Amino acid sequence: MSTRTASGAKTLPGKYYTSAEIFQLESQNIFKKQWLYAGRISQLKKTGSYFLFNIDHESIIILRDQNDEVKAMHNVCRHRGTRLCSEAEGELSKTIQCPYHAWTYDLQGNLLAAPNMSEVTGFDNADYPLHRVAMSVWEGSVFINLAENPEPFEKAFKPLIGKFEQWHMSELAVAHRLVYEMDANWKLIFQNYSECYHCPNLHPQLNRLTPFRNSANDLEEGPFLGGPMKFAQNFQSMTMSGRRCAAPLGGISGEDLRLVYYYTIFPNMLLSLHPDYVLIHQIQRQSPTHTRIVCDWLFHPDAMAKPDFDAGDAIKFWNTTNKQDWQVSELSQQGIASQVYAPGPYSELESMIADWDRHYLKALSIHSNSH
């Protein structure tokens, strides 16, 4: 077990959950500089398939081009800035056409046609491609970075590269998706996910499968935090029945069949690795006091193709658990907004939150002792 400690740390002051100024600072110093989880490459099934990733005022088109490569581009026409794609996902033909003045781009973002612009002296299509966005694919997940000169993905994600190979995550597809709306600050979701102090009281079903003290951590500082929890005897996965919904994934064997792994991937992804499926929460902050959560259950296509496949046991379990977490997070948000709220001490069972807070404050460019 880890010797990590909360070392006298306290919860963050209320302004970090309610302030519009802090929210804007997060936009500039975190969300426009960090690698952000945008979606799964399996969503892009063929040439022209796309989905949008929206954050603050930015909208990014992520698509599969005619060379079968995945590209990410700003959803902004180079003429007068009009949004090109308005549907959250879909299939494009061989081109992307602006609905306003019909400027037309190929799937790599090159400007092919600009009606009547030949009358403009010196106008050259080549000068007006769509603005590209830095993108990388890791374990079947698409990440984008809005910075002009982002830290290379391989460097930023070095602690995770190769860490989860036995799950064969790049082969997995989305079996089910649920989208939740929550009246609470995005950080409360990360903080809730990072401790099981609340599990006996709030999650009796979860605590029955993985008793709250059956936990360890193998990533304990920086942007990636988490580790395994051990199943109680006779349980195989995080489902309502405690049984697996499918055969173990990829190369899962031995001790990994007895464990579920939980990781926070700063700043917008929660990754839960089960023996038979993977759960991903994508955190989409909407305002200081409102967050959208997109939850995907990933299974192997071979399992999903079987006539008796049923992910309902896993979906019901996490939908129940999610709703319990969202409700208590909303209660936390309401209490934090009170004039009498003051930072309280973390228990040793919450030491992972203290680590998350320290990284958050560092990323926000505020020294952790400043509060």
92 and 177 belong to one structural domain? no
pLDDT of residue 2 exceeding 50: no
For 318, residues 6+ apart whose C-beta sits below 8 A from its C-beta are: 238, 279, 295, 297
What pLDDT was estimated at residue 211?
72
192 and 237 belong to one structural domain? yes
Residue 162 in domain: no
Instruction: Give residue 347's domain range.
Output: 1-32+172-371
Helix/strand/coil percentages in the chain, nearest 5 = 30, 25, 45
What are the CA-CA distances from residue 315 to residues 89, 210, 295, 343 (Å)? 23, 17, 10, 35
139 and 55 belong to one structural domain? yes
177 and 259 belong to one structural domain? yes
What pLDDT was estimated at residue 5?
64
Q: Report the 3 state secondary structure along 68-80.
A: CCEEEEECCCCCC
Structure tokens at 84: 């090109």
Average of per-residue pLDDT across 301-311: 97
**Distance of alpha carbon 5 from alpha carbon 358, whole angstroms:** 13
**pLDDT tens figures, 65-81:** 999 999 999 999 999 99
Residue 167 in domain: no
Among 156, 180, 196, the domain-final residue is: 156
**pLDDT tens figures, 83-133:** 999 999 999 999 999 999 999 999 999 999 999 999 999 999 999 999 999
Residue 362 in domain: yes
255 and 268 belong to one structural domain? yes
pTM: 0.94
- List the beta bridge partners of residue 227: 262
Count other C-beta atoms under 10 Å from residue 78's C-beta.
20
**Distance of alpha carbon 302 from alpha carbon 280, whole angstroms:** 20
| CATH number for 209 | 3.90.380.10
Among 156, 189, 208, the domain-final residue is: 156
| CATH number for 76 | 2.102.10.10
**pLDDT tens figures, 262-280:** 999 999 999 999 999 999 9
60 and 194 belong to one structural domain? no
What pLDDT was estimated at residue 175?
97
27 and 47 belong to one structural domain? no
What pLDDT was estimated at residue 259?
95
Structure tokens at 28: 């500039």
Radius of gyration of the chain (CA): 22
138 and 231 belong to one structural domain? no
180 and 79 belong to one structural domain? no
The strand ranges marked E within the chain are 36-40, 49-55, 58-64, 70-74, 89-91, 95-97, 104-106, 111-113, 134-138, 141-145, 173-182, 224-230, 259-265, 269-273, 278-287, 290-299
232 and 371 belong to one structural domain? yes
112 and 148 belong to one structural domain? yes
Percentage of the residues of the chain whose pLDDT score is greater than 90? 85
